[in-house]
Amino acid sequence: MNRLFRIFIVGLFALLGAAFVFSCSNLPESPVPSNSDVIIYTHNIVNTYPHDRNAFTEGLVFEDGVLYEGTGRFGYSTLRRVELETGGILQIRELADQFFGEGITIYGDKIIQLTWQSNIGFVYDKNSFELLQEFNYSTEGWGITHDGTRLIMSDGTSTLHFLDPQTFEEIGQLEVFDNDGPVTRLNELEYIQGEIYANVWQTGWVARIAPQTGRVIGWIDLRGLLTAEDRSELADVLNGIAYDAEAARLFVTGKLWPKLFEIELISPP
């Protein structure tokens, strides 16, 4: 990709980022139905860590004391190993310019990364980031996680797709819904203590989904997590959920955010 075209792409995404912020301000206050009887969680910020402002976060995982992050945008998509405390990049692999990187998950000793509209996923060695395999899927690629036996993939709709982690063949689907019907725009995913957590794109909300039924059993309100001062530059939407299973720590961030947050959930009295 030549320099002039890269400058054009950066400018285009700056405009798109501004449009996203504007569109978010015009979305309904929340996707939570007015007659919902599910738990609505608020949050406390436990710790704040630096985050690369150039990272268009699409996937986030925590394992062995470090973060793994997948980033998007054509010509800038990457897979990264990141130091939590400093936000520094410890290891990076760049995707070819034609791919828009999306969600990532770690399954065993492999990292699996989706791409947006290319219908291609990548499998890497977790330690070396060596590309081991490519696989195909029929939908768009958004978020991905796993429950220990199945990969769980989102495509921006209300449907989650279950994939065999060895063959990558689709082995099932799950329709996500609440009292008002289907919950769409499911994006970044994380499997946490028997539930699927999902960012709802262009909102400050995370859905907690029962994988047995697809019902939303809880909402996490993360609106206002990033201050107006931090949003004064080109920050995009909330996206990125990681869980430290050993220490029971929950991390969240967003696309082009300058900060990553460790939060604790607060249930209503």
Instruction: Evaluate whether 151 touches 162 at the Cβ level (below 8 Å).
Output: yes
The DSSP letter of residue 51 is -
Residue 34 is predicted with a pLDDT of 52
pLDDT of the chain along its 269 residues, tens only?
443 344 344 444 444 443 333 333 333 345 655 556 789 999 999 999 999 999 999 999 999 999 999 999 999 999 999 999 999 999 999 999 999 999 999 999 999 999 999 999 999 999 999 999 999 999 999 999 999 999 999 999 999 999 999 999 999 999 999 988 999 999 999 999 999 999 999 999 999 999 999 999 999 999 989 888 887 668 899 999 999 999 999 999 999 999 999 999 999 88
- CATH number, domain of 134, equals 2.120.10.30
Q: 3-class DSSP state for residue 121?
A: strand
Residue 4 is predicted with a pLDDT of 39
* AA identity, residue 26: N
Residue 140 is predicted with a pLDDT of 97
Where in the sequence is the domain holding 210, given as residue range(s)?
Answer: 3-266
Q: Find the helix or strand (DSSP H, E) in which 71 lies.
A: strand 66-71
| Number of folded domains that form the chain | 1
Instruction: Evaluate whether 183 touches 176 at the Cβ level (below 8 Å).
Output: yes
Q: Provide φ and ψ at 226, rounded to 5°.
A: -95, 130
